[in-house]
Structure 1
């Protein structure tokens, strides 16, 4: 399993951002095999974590026409800067605490 870590410095978000972000999340989860997608914002920082079964799924998602347009809008309008990291998860565990 892989995780894509997207970190951004927010310039300004608008109504189109919310609609676009929801659509991108939906596409990733329903059409590209994304296993989970979580986004948090605090102040001017945003972090999104998306989990994927393989690198081919990540590449297909990255190159999808709607996602390419969203990336361009992010660079032009919404973000002052961003960084993307892709990491392979080699171990995971969980515990249920009663």
Structure 2
């Protein structure tokens, strides 16, 4: 699902990862982190895809909202478990969205 985002500017946290073998509780924790993020002030939305490379993009109102999410205690535990158990490698990027545009096919165009 494509996240519904407001008029720019807003911020994106782009998390790219390569997983280790096996689930080891990853799916449940991933679902929990999305639910927890949705409760955070400044959270806008999230998009995620996983194959050989996983990419999750979360959208935030401002840098302070991102900082508070990073400092969330439960999120900190998940990040530590990720380093220890779930990820072979990962990279986090934070970007300011200054412009966006979209397209959506009308149901009668199909």
Bigger radius of gyration, 1 or 2? 2
User: How far is the alpha carbon of 1:13 from its aligned partner?
Assistant: 4.0
2:16–2:92 contact (8 Å) kept in structure 1: yes
Aligned mates of 2:85, 2:75 — CA distance in 1: 15
Which SS does the other structure have where 1:31 is aligned? coil
How many residues align? The count is: 97
Q: Which residue of 2 aligns with 1:87?
A: 95
Aligned mates of 1:16, 1:32 — CA distance in 2: 27
- Within the alignment, does 1:96 sit opposite 2:99 as a pair? no
- Within the alignment, does 1:9 sit opposite 2:18 as a pair? yes
- Within the alignment, does 1:58 sit opposite 2:77 as a pair? no
Task: For structure 1, list consecutive stretches of 5 or more residues without a partner in the other structure.
Answer: none
Once the two structures are superposed, residues 48-92 of structure 1 have per-residue CA deviations (whole angstroms, 9 ceiling, x without a partner) of 000000000000000111000000000000001100000000011
Q: Which residue of 2 aligns with 1:42?
A: 51
Task: For structure 2, list consecutive stretches of 5 or more residues without a partner in the other structure.
Answer: 1-9
| CA RMSD, 1 decimal | 1.3
The structure whose residues are more often helix, as a share, is 1
Which SS does the other structure have where 1:95 is aligned? coil
**TM alignment of 1:27-38, pairs within 5 A:** 27-38=36-47
TM-score scaled to structure 1, two decimals? 0.91
